[in-house]
Amino acid sequence: MMTITLNHYLIVAAILLSLGILGVLFRRNALIVFMSIELMLNAGNLVLVAFSRHFGEMDGQVLAFFIIALAAAEVSIGLAIIVSLFRQKGSIDINSVSLMKG
């Protein structure tokens, strides 16, 4: 049986990050864009925890903990912005928010 190394986890994280980037660039729904940002943050988390396990130090896990707290703050602010956007525009399509286009 083949053993699982650091690279396996990094590949999973890379695919997860790419899917997040794809979601941000591909979808026009602000909520889905937000969820994709969560995916990217979690890919970063997975890399931190994998390296933390690889080197036998727990510092990476502490940083991942901070990222989770940061993501919670980001979600609360971002959803508040989406709510107020929906009140103003009546939709959450990010193409409808082009007021500052030059």
Partner 1 sequence: MGDPIFFYVFATLVIAAATGVVFFSNPLSSAMSLVVSLAGLAGLFVLLEAHFLAAIQILVYAGAVMVLFIFVIMMFNLRHSYRHLKVSFASLLGLVVALNISILLVMRLIQPQVVGNAVGADFGTVNGVGKLLLTKYLVPFEIISVLLTVAAVGAIVLAQREKESS
Contact in structure between 46 and 97 (CB atoms under 8 Å): no
Q: Which residues face 29 on adjacent strands? A: 93
Q: How far is the CB of 99 from partner 1 (least distance, A)?
A: 15
Question: What are the residue ranges of helices labelled H in 27-58?
Answer: 30-55
The span from the CA of 15 to the CA of 82, in Å, is 27
The single residue listed with the structure tokens 């928010």 is 97
Q: How many residues bind partner 1 (CB under 8 A)?
A: 73
In the bound state with partner 1, the residue whose beta carbon lies nearer, of 71 and 97, is: 71
In the bound state with partner 1, the residue whose beta carbon lies nearer, of 54 and 97, is: 54
Verify binding: residue 97, partner 1, rule CB under 8 A: no
Give residues 67-96 in contact with partner 1 (rule: CB under 8 A).
68-77, 79-84, 86-87, 91-93
